[in-house]
Amino acid sequence: MRYREPLSIAIALDRDAATPLHHQIAGEVASAVARGTLVRGARMPSTRTLASLLGVSRGVTVAAYAELFSRGYLDSHHGSGTYVAGTPHKPNVVRPRPRVALDLSPGQLCREAFPLAEWRAAWRRASFHPAPASPPPLGLDELRQAIAEHLVRTRGLDLTGREIVVTGGTADGLRLVLDGLGLRGSDVALPEPIAPALRRAVRGDPMPVRDPSCRALVVSPPPWDAVLPAAHQRAAVAWAGRTGGWLVEVACDTVFHADARAPRLHESTDAVVMVGGFCDLLTPALALGYAVVPSGLVDIVGDSPRPPHVTQLAMASLLRDGTVVRRMHRLGQLYDSKRQVVETVLAGLPVSLGLGTALVRLPDEVDAVGVARSLRERGLRVGTLADYYSSAQSAPPALVLGYGHLPEPALRQGMTALVDALTRLV
């Protein structure tokens, strides 16, 4: 079916100028081709269509096209139309990132053994259900029920007197809870180190954990581990008992983990909110998580946009059919195996190993950021502990390595190269 090709550039004609109109048109088109605004290989409007668009006679546009043909700017394809001459090209709007031989930066997902068949089936089933005219304010009931059953199964969570609120992920849940409680900046104490995304979720400048004047304490494990030490959890419970403040627990839902010595925060005080998500387990593109809040808080934290209807349905399906639990088990096995590789290769370094992430401590006089920059020049991208502190000057000198995303052969090669480079640099 033929259609009138639109004109993608603006052509301003000065009818009082001494330059003939067809020369003006030809000049505007030639300039657009030279700038790349009019992409080579693009189909041009017919002379009749262009005359109508510009409000000139067809003879003017025929003369303009004739000039452009003679200057090599246009090309005619018999029976197809007129095109900008040359080979097609894309505007250079994306600059390629410098090539890195091995990326050991933290926060990357393990894509091995991803449940692709179950993932496709869940989205296919979800696509058959149209979105409701009025979405439930707390999230779809079937997803909230599936999350509740999941938390009982994996965490032994007692949900008596509590509600599940669907969020856009862990950081979004933290922001939603703090906003609902009217807490920001110095009202909130954050542990350090803490993931940058969680820090950004607090509006304003949060206080350090040691400050006693805050009204809420975020309880989060260090980025290289999945469990907060039991002593820290007991200290948080004691703080809540003394001050009557809120505890906001950040859950890690990537693998199964438990510390029998640690108190269960939700059983120790009623002023506890838990936030978590499934992005680190499946993919950040999912952008879906949850908040477990006391029933009395539902009205103040439930007024927020929810993830798309189809996303919630697909996640409910993945939880109900056991895909999420199987994925947690499988990731636990993969991380354990890779941890042994890292532990063996980095045996001579002061290192703390966690869930797909490792912390390599450096001597006090060493500039960790400078070391990371030097490693980057050698083809190894790593993170530093400075990214996890409010002030880079207060961060101990250390490198943060992500290893959970790498297959074991590449992991062994990368860690060996890292040890060799650090031996030369430090």
Residue 24 pLDDT > 60, yes or no?
A: yes
CATH architecture designation of domain 132-307: 3-Layer(aba) Sandwich (3.40)
Residue type, 398: A
All CATH 1.10.10.10 domain ranges of the chain, comma separated, are 1-95
**What pLDDT was estimated at residue 418?**
92
C-beta separation of 137 from 303 below 8 A? yes
Distance between CA 115 and CA 268 in Å, rounded?
37
φ, ψ dihedrals at 192, nearest 5°: -130, 135
C-beta separation of 175 from 308 below 8 A? no
Tell me the per-residue pLDDT of 309-325, one tens digit each, with 9 for 90 and over: 999 999 999 999 999 99
> Longest C-alpha distance within the chain, in Å?
90
Question: Residue 4: pLDDT band by 50, 70, 90 thresholds?
Answer: low
Query: Which residue's entry shows tokens 């639109």?
Result: 6
Length of the chain: 426
Tell me the per-residue pLDDT of 323-377, one tens digit each, with 9 for 90 and over: 999 999 999 999 999 999 999 999 988 998 888 899 999 998 989 999 999 999 9
CATH of 102-110+332-425, one of 3.30.300.10, 2.40.50.140, 3.90.1150.10, 3.40.50.11400: 3.90.1150.10
What is the sign of the dihedral through the CA atoms of 242, 243, 244 and 249? negative
Distance between CA 380 and CA 418 in Å, rounded?
7
Tell me the per-residue pLDDT of 61-83, one tens digit each, with 9 for 90 and over: 999 999 999 888 888 876 678 88
Distance between CA 214 and CA 235 in Å, rounded?
15
The CATH classification number of 1-95 equals 1.10.10.10
All CATH 3.40.640.10 domain ranges of the chain, comma separated, are 132-307
With a threshold of 0.85, does the pTM exceed it?
A: no
Residue 89 pLDDT > 60, yes or no?
A: no
Residue 356's region, left for phi above 0, alpha for psi from -120 to 50, else beta, is left
